[in-house]
Amino acid sequence: MPLAKSNPLLQPWNTPHGLPPFEAVRAEHFEPAFEVALAQHRVEVDAIGNDPRPPTFDNTVATLDRSGRLLDRTEWLFHNLGASETSPALQAAALRLAPVLAAHDSWVVMHRALFERLDALHARRDALALTDEQRRVLERFHLDFVRAGARLEPAAQRRYAQIMQRLAELTTAFAQNVLADESAFLLVLRDEAEMAGLPEFVRAATRQAALDRGVTDGLLVTLSRSHIVPFLTFCERRDLRERAWRAWTGRGEHDGQHDNRPIAREILGLRNEQARLHGYACFADYALADTMAGTQAAVMRLLGQVWEPAKARAAQEQRDLEAIARARGEPLPLAPWDWRFYAEKLRQQRYALDEAMVKPYFPLARMVEALFDCAQRLFGLRFTLRPELRAYHPDVQVYEVHGADGTLVGVFLHDNHARATKRSGAWMSSFRKQSRNGGANGGEAVLPIVINNNNFAKGAANEPTLLSFDDATTLFHEFGHGLHGLLSSVTFERVSGTGVLRDFVELPSQLFEHWLSEPEVLKRHARHHRTGEPIPDALIARLHEARHFNQGFETVRYTASALVDMAAHALTAEQAPDVVEFERAELERIGAPAVVGMNHRLTHFQHLFAGSGYAAGYYVYLWAEVLEADGYTAFKEAGDPFDPEVAQRLRRFIYASGNSIEPTQAYRAFRGRDATVQPMLEQRGLSGSGV
């Protein structure tokens, strides 16, 4: 049987909306499919580069934009399955394919004939009568090629390609090692003494986790964030909290097969060499050159505005927590595994508020309804569940998304539950990106297929999954990314959806979080999972009163991670240091309180080392927070969180424009001016008397 007829990845996807044929795909299909797809893309790229006609936007840029569609769909499916529903066979294939795919990417951007055509068009772009989007696409493609080595000398190009292949291998291994450590840790609680302090919602989630893993004689705590954070918050057993905390913070830091220390060190060294080939002193300078921030100095100015106030706030919080521990006759000094435990006691005392009180009003299904309702009221979108459309796992729900006029906008997949075959964290991705440059000759509309992944602990059988307020915020955050992909309305895939500068990409996601806190949204959707009663006004008031609670802790953890990231990628020596010792020394240098810690230690910092997207870029969440805190005040000034005029501008310039508009200009078009930092400081309780 011919390969194309036996491999579903190489056949037309005659499925509803062109969804991947999930049920037919096996791990062994990918490598032969990539072989065909890569060869096809090489033919396409050669044809563009060797076209005897003079270069034009249409025969070079637009054609390049729609090339490689077989490769794209195969690669998106492969990487999404590797993150969301992996297997030993998929992981083995990923390790083999990582350098192959990286080598192909290098071949494309170093294709001399193709780059000469792009370079010629770029040099005379002012005379080409391009639309604004066409000019932006040409400039972005040209910069992509230059930043990936197109202008290097042949020997440097060969070395550059070797670096990128090795980095692809290392980042793939790094992510797989973190998943292995997370999957291997099992803390079984077998008696009431070990379960002391755990409220029923924690017991229900850990009971279900035990059943899922075949543990029949106790509750099971895994390293999923939706397990570990509640466990550290409520467990009365200090020794068990310490054991869980050490496993969580020690991922990737141990001898043996899954040791990420040498991997992270080699990645840092290779990135530094990559930057030097481009003429930069360090990787941070190279990475920041294509961001809104632009320089290390700009990033450090922003981080510096919150670092000292956050440390001062955290120091006061520590004193308050120690007073609680002292009053309970419990041991001091406070240890890192104690902070969340005593913070919850203080929150209960100060605001009459605890997770066990809040969670019943935040069942996952209700919060998903809230997402869709807000999207409808803001942008006219309607989400229709299609249960007959099966994805790669029974947990995944598939929705058709229609606009206010009934037109199909895209397809949305929602994968919300933690499992051993899924990497930790929360993220948005795509199986297909929006454009109007589809078909053999362009001009055909391509609808997006977008997925949100979360890692919420599944409720017990026949019981709902209950979210903390932080979980619900994560749900809204990722849905903001999802809307960025779904609402994209551009012609060219290169500037579609979330393909924006890294310190702009978190704006649509963080901005959408604000609607969760709106009282009218809470009253409509936050309903008790048993009684259906809306969340009481008094509880909403307490949630708002407590919004700055523990913000010193949270801000120090985030900012310490961003500062260590920047320091690690600002290294200029050819040989990177031991990452654990470097991290320790850097935290000491900046005065980071050890009892608070970091969001992510370097040995499991997947933002940095499972790919390059956030390397020298973890600061972007704070950069985007300046934009979103300022941006949301537009709705406050209008007096309506769903003001149609503001929502229309938000859709046009932030969610729909992708990278077709330079981001500073896009924000100004939405807001009418540049952002100011004060709303962000107020949002974190770090301004004026709040410090």
Residues designated catalytic: 478
Reading the block at residue 594, the tokens are 């050890």
Residue 315: CB partners within 8 Å, gap ≥ 6? 552, 593
Distance CA 410, CA 450 (A): 8
Q: Quickly list DSSP for 423-441.
A: -SS-EEEEEE--EEEESTT
What is the CA angle 351-356-360, rounded to 5? 110
CA angle 530–531–537, rounded 5-degree value = 115
- The closest alpha carbon to 480, from 524, 515, 433, 430, belongs to 515
Assess whether the previous peptide bond of 333 is cis (omega < 30° from 0): yes
Phi/psi of residue 287, each to 5°? -65, -40
Name the pairing type of β-strands 408-417 and 397-402: antiparallel
Sheet containing strand 382-385, edge to edge, reads: 382-385, 397-402, 408-417, 449-456, 427-432
**Cα end-to-end span (Å), the chain:** 71
Q: Which two tokens stand for residue 505?
A: 């990409």
Q: Which residues pair with 428 in a beta bridge?
A: 452
- Host H or E run for residue 163: helix 154-184
Q: Which two tokens stand for residue 152?
A: 């290097």
Burial string for 31-50 (b: 16+ CB within 10 Å, else e) reads eebbebbbebbbebbeebbe
Among 96, 250, 119, smallest CA distance to 604 is for 250
Q: What residues contact residue 597 under an 8 Å CB cut-off, 6+ apart?
A: 249, 336, 557, 560
Q: Which helix (H) or strand (E) covers residue 411, if one does?
A: strand 408-417
Distance (Å, whole) CA 379 – CA 29: 39
